[in-house]
Chains A and B, each alone.
Chain A
Amino acid sequence: MFSAVARIFRTPDLRRKIGFTLGIIAIYRLGSFIPAPFVDFKNVQACLVSDQTTSGAYELINLFSGGALLQLSIFALGIMPYITASIITQLLRVVIPHFETLYKEGQTGQAKLTQYTRYLTIFLGVLQSTTLITVARTGALFGNTGVPACENLLTTDTWYAVLLMVITMTAGTGLIMWMGELITERGIGNGMSLLIFTSISATFPAAMGSIWSAKGPEIFFMVIAVGIVIMALVVFVEQSQRRIPVQYAKRMVGRRTYGGNNTYIPIKVNMAGVVPVIFASSLLYLPALLAQFNQPAAGQDPAAWVTWINDYLTKGDHPLYMLLYFMLIVGFTYFYVAITFNPEEVADNMKRYGGFIPGIRAGRPTAEYLDYVLTRVTLPGSVYLGLIALIPLIALGLVGANANFPFGGASILIIVGVGLETVKQIDSQLQQRHYEGLLR
């Protein structure tokens, strides 16, 4: 492993790329601390300290922005508008035929789609920054904390001040988008993923620090130890896969010396990645939102169903909530895997290029076989996803960690996923540079 690291630093090109990536990440982090104009820095900090339970509404967004959202910094919106925009452009393919045509036009068409994504990102940036600033202006950003500082987050609230803030934050979004693309283009790894990775890991120290201050060092070190075990487990499961061998109908002269087991259909244990967890938590957030809108006026009793939701479905540590969460994740995993890995399509594609699974007829028997394996491999995968997602909720009960508990849920899945992907990319780059020294 150390020799690999040493090799990275001996390869000038790779060294430059990694340096570039780290540089961009540093700028990204720096920007998250620079307050937007007209933000009352002292009041915001005071509020952040007083606000222990992060309000659920912005939880995920705040996590993805590395805490910059509640800081009201120039990078408050983070990479979120870009992610949302790319998901929307992808979804629009379902309704707009023009987008579907572009998607099929290969790289050139997809470059156009990227262009649309960028415009949409800016549009979403304007929208989201306006919302954020409006909320901050009314003093509701941190919920009804009662702390007077939280009511006065901005120094002025004239319209041009608001306009300037909107422009600043939107520009910040544009800059982040550009930085992400720069990493993809000139650095190492996927820029968008790496920026999310950065944001999420940036919340680690604070989350761990709060455990230390609340529960003392014993618990703290225990959590770290358990956390490392969990992380190892996630790395292990994420790389687990069933490999179904594939052969090609080509005349091969002689024996096969090299790639005997390099041609296969990979069926990962966790084929769905982090998506089901995000789906499930977004869906479970809906009842709470509904209840919030139906809060009665002061003094009156809330409706029975509102009370029920408040009792059972807003607090993550309630068993019913946990059960529901778990079931939803298992369900979504199957749904997502069924849609993304279409055994018939894979079988068809294989057939078209002369590939086959030895001993199994091409076409329907192959599709059935793939489906059989897929269903069985996905079962442990979905249970694993559900359990990983429950970890923060359990930790919340056990050690009073906040919802961003680093060793569980979406956080760890994203961190490990991006980490593995980036290491693979560095490896592949190393491979390519390997021969340069020999040629000179």
Chain B
Amino acid sequence: MRIQAIAELRARLSSDGPVSSARIYLNLARDAARWEQKLRDTDHQVFHEQALGRFTRGHELSTGVSGFELAVLREVARRVLGVRASEGQLAATAAMVAGVSVELDTGEGKTLVGAFTACAMFARGHSVHILTTNDYLAARDSGSMVALFRFLRVGSAHISSLTPHRERADAYLKDVVYAPLHEVGYDLLRDRVAERVEDRVRPVCDAVILDEADALIIDAGASPLVIARDDATPMSLIHDVTAVINDLRDVVHYRIAPDKTSVVLTEQGVHEIETRLRVPNLYRDDARDILAYVHAALSAAALLERGRDYLVRDGRIELINTSLGRIAHQHRYPDGLQLAVESKEGVPLSRTGTVLDAISVHGIISAYTRPVGMSGTLRLVSLDLMDHYGMPVTRMEPEKAVARIDQPDLIFRTGNEQLEACVRMVKLALERGQPVLIGTASIPDSEWLGGRLRAVGLTPVVLNARNDSEEASVIGQAGKEGRLTVSTQISGRGADIVLGGGDPEERQRVLEHGGLLVIALTRYQSRRIDAQLRGRAGRRGDPGHTRAILSLEDPQVQGFAPKSLLSRAEADGESAGGRAGRIAIVAAQRASEYRHLDRHRDVIAYGKLLAEQRAVILLVREELLAGSCEAFDRYVARTAANNSEHFTHGPVDPRVLLRCVDLEWSAYLAEVSIIRDSAHLFALEGKSPLAQYNLILGGMFERYWESVRERTTRAHAEISNGYGTTYSGPPSTDPSIWTYLLESDPYGSTLGRFITNLRARGARRATDRSDR
């Protein structure tokens, strides 16, 4: 007991994050072996009936799974899919049915575990969604498991971004639904703004299995999903602004922050813009629109890079998800920024949208009663999963011990030295016949490296978001003898590199050469992404090597490492691989990783009250949809006690009221986003920004009802005057992604600020002295 407590304490203190023990689940899985032979010998018809009896909806009442149940699942998979489920897979199933998320190494067969868990949950009376990161995975997993579901007579379906609206309602009626997380999110949003009952598709949010849970929750978690209504076409002004901004020069007219997250105009820059646009003062109230465009255009020009942050394809801007290295379909920058990027690239401007409603990933997952996740990398975020989603995490050790060798990092001062070392290492490996996979930081990096490797006579295959349609074939060949693949984060998650490319003889030869060699040329924005890339080598006990060849010139290191460490590391000269360099690189990655985690936490914290307010409105909305204004009256009577006069004079059209409730919510959200942006200023008076933000929202929400009332009265007056709102059907839904770009609290506590500024002054004085 005591020893366990100490072990738990140590786990809590270690940076890996705590995990709960997997022992009981492994025991269950071992227990399943008792029935394996007996079930195998059972006649097919008899077994089918036995299995069906076991897995009928709501048949099973116990929350935990039994060894026998696991044995039946294993036998079903053997008969239907022709694979024998491993002990680890059964144990993972047992854990997930119990509500414990599982870290399962690459190649251990997560897809089957997901399907098993879904069947077991189905038997317990649940409807199950299995959510993935993209369309492809939802379709692939659903397709490969359909036979299993059919055998057990479990209805299954999959939804992708291409699934038409009317088919979705039917799909959601099925027992098991495979879908990308954001598709379910958009369906929830569309339902929330639907103006007719029959327009809704009603996803049943009961049990959910999150595939690649950390990518879904943490990496995508900071960007809320947004539904927007088309708005006026933008002014031509944006092109003028872009033209001026394009002529500005770094340092002279603007300065970029070292971490490349923000840019500011210098005085000269402001002057230049004011003269060229003929604006007397950019910061006057009447120039607000222009300033908004200037701000957006400057960010687009100085912070966003084509190829790294977005691609231009078919006359459209497509955003790249930097943690997955893939194109983020249906993603957009916040309003003005999107236009600015389009103007910068000279593609047709898209229509701007007014945000109608938003939901965070946390909001989507909170809609489910039983969330559980699986991934190859969960431990590092287990504290966040526990704190914000109530999801405990356990780890399943792989069946065969990992035979991969992770060699120590090589650290160089400059990118050139890094490249030379990389080429040397690649040549050595290829001479042996060992296949090599190189991970780079971005699309331009991968293409540049591909060019350099070609220049020294090698034949690399480059894979990135630009040619992701060839992904399956490139990855399929990547394990072949003497093959060289250059890639981005894209070859991390979900890419299964089979040694020898499926040819057993070649596989044997590759094994003798030492398996796959994975070289990482950068540290990604989190340790999990690094681990995913490393996991491509040495799957299922195969041999393999990994090596990180890094340089201090890496933008992440330059932006995030403490300056003192960096200068010490650079002073080490040629052998920058010293202690200082190593620490600088680790510190830079942690800073970037934790900043992301903090942002995720902020989105949750700042979204909480808003979600509650939205829930109240949705309740009222529900009755309005049914054609009754009663709930609205009742609610207003209850909250706005000071406005004793009855809310609605005379008959009110519930449809008009409904429209007004929605429009007013949209205006409300716009205001909230401004309050959110300025909340950090409250720290200056020693108040908690979050508490103050909540207080303001509380007051604003009281006024919300008042505004709806005014709007409704106006609308009715207009209608009776003959030129009112006409109903042009439901608003078109053009989903777009909108993120907060602000740290919650750049100021910190008063004492903290005091010390930070004292430090900064000391440093400035020191540099002044050395200048003299």
Which A residues lie at the B interface, using CB under 8 A? 87, 90-91, 93-94, 97, 100-101, 103-109, 115, 241, 246-254, 256-259, 262-268, 271, 273, 336, 339-342, 345-346, 348-349, 351-364, 421, 424-425, 427-428, 431-432, 434-436, 438-439
Contact B562 A101 (CB under 8 A): yes
Indicate if B289 sits at the interface (CB-CB under 8 A): yes
Identify which of A246, A250, A425 contacts B681 (C-beta below 8 A).
Answer: A246
Indicate if B754 sits at the interface (CB-CB under 8 A): yes
Identify which of A87, A106, A262 contacts B598 (C-beta below 8 A).
Answer: A106
Identify which of A262, A354, A361 contacts B292 (C-beta below 8 A).
Answer: A354
Q: A104-B591, A108-B594, A439-B612 are in contact. List 13 more A-B contacts (CB 8 A).
A: A105-B594, A250-B292, A251-B289, A256-B671, A340-B754, A346-B684, A349-B747, A361-B267, A361-B282, A363-B267, A431-B695, A431-B697, A438-B619
Identify which of B267, B284, B564, B680 contacts A97 (C-beta below 8 A).
Answer: B564
A100-B562, A258-B703, A358-B285 given; A435·B616 CB < 8 A: yes
Contact A428 B678 (CB under 8 A): no
Indicate if B758 sits at the interface (CB-CB under 8 A): yes
A and B contact pairs by CB, cutoff 8 A, 28 listed? A97-B562, A106-B594, A107-B597, A107-B598, A108-B597, A248-B674, A248-B678, A250-B673, A251-B352, A253-B231, A256-B671, A257-B667, A258-B671, A258-B707, A262-B700, A263-B678, A266-B682, A266-B685, A271-B685, A339-B754, A340-B754, A348-B264, A352-B263, A353-B677, A355-B678, A362-B270, A363-B265, A428-B694
Contact B591 A101 (CB under 8 A): yes
Q: Could you mark each residue 676-707 of chain B with 1 if its beta carbon is under 8 Å from any beta carbon of chain A, else 0?
A: 01101110111110011011111010011001
Identify which of A107, A265, A424, A431 contacts B698 (C-beta below 8 A).
Answer: A431
B residues less than 8 Å from A105 (CB atoms)? 590-591, 594
Contact A246 B678 (CB under 8 A): yes
Which B residues lie at the A interface, using CB under 8 A? 13, 231, 257, 262-267, 270, 281-285, 288-289, 291-295, 335-336, 352, 354, 562, 564-565, 587, 590-591, 594-595, 597-598, 601, 608-609, 612-613, 615-616, 619, 635, 638-639, 667-668, 670-675, 677-678, 680-682, 684-688, 691-692, 694-698, 700, 703-704, 707, 741-742, 746-747, 750-759, 761-762
A356 to B13 Cα, complex, angstroms = 43
B residues less than 8 Å from A268 (CB atoms)? 685-686
B506 to nearest A CB, angstroms?
Answer: 45
Contact B562 A247 (CB under 8 A): no
Identify which of B262, B595, B698 contacts A353 (C-beta below 8 A).
Answer: B262
A356 to B283 Cα, complex, angstroms = 7
A256 to B615 Cα, complex, angstroms = 23
Contact B267 A364 (CB under 8 A): yes
A residues less than 8 Å from B597 (CB atoms)? 106-108
Contact B270 A259 (CB under 8 A): no
Q: Which chain A residue has the least Cβ–Cβ distance from B267?
A: A363
Contact B675 A263 (CB under 8 A): yes
A307 to B672 Cα, complex, angstroms = 65
A306 to nearest B CB, angstroms?
Answer: 35
Identify which of A107, A339, A359 contacts B285 (C-beta below 8 A).
Answer: A359
Q: Which chain A residue has the least Cβ–Cβ distance from B13?
A: A115
Q: Which chain B residue has the least Cβ–Cβ distance from A440?
A: B619
Identify which of B703, B746, B762 contacts A349 (C-beta below 8 A).
Answer: B746
Which has the most chain B C-beta neighbours within 10 Å: A91, A262, A421, A432?
A262
B30 to nearest A CB, angstroms?
Answer: 37
Contact A425 B691 (CB under 8 A): yes
A253-B354, A265-B681, A425-B691 given; A351·B668 CB < 8 A: no
Contact B264 A352 (CB under 8 A): yes
Contact B288 A249 (CB under 8 A): yes
A262-B675, A427-B695 given; A358·B616 CB < 8 A: no
Identify which of A90, A345, A431 contacts B757 (C-beta below 8 A).
Answer: A345
Contact B335 A251 (CB under 8 A): yes
B residues less than 8 Å from A250 (CB atoms)? 292, 335-336, 673-674, 677
A residues less than 8 Å from B281 (CB atoms)? 359, 361
A246 to B687 Cα, complex, angstroms = 18
A154 to nearest B CB, angstroms?
Answer: 35
Contact A360 B283 (CB under 8 A): yes
A residues less than 8 Å from B684 (CB atoms)? 265-267, 341, 346
Q: Which chain A residue has the least Cβ–Cβ distance from B284?
A: A359
Contact A339 B609 (CB under 8 A): no
A residues less than 8 Å from B698 (CB atoms)? 428, 431-432, 434
B595 to nearest A CB, angstroms?
Answer: 6
A265 to nearest B CB, angstroms?
Answer: 5
Which has the most chain A C-beta neighbours within 10 Å: B264, B591, B638, B692?
B264
B residues less than 8 Å from A251 (CB atoms)? 289, 292-293, 335-336, 352
A249 to B270 Cα, complex, angstroms = 14
A residues less than 8 Å from B695 (CB atoms)? 424, 427-428, 431
Contact B270 A361 (CB under 8 A): yes
A326 to nearest B CB, angstroms?
Answer: 23
Identify which of A248, A267, A431 contacts B677 (C-beta below 8 A).
Answer: A248
B residues less than 8 Å from A351 (CB atoms)? 264-265
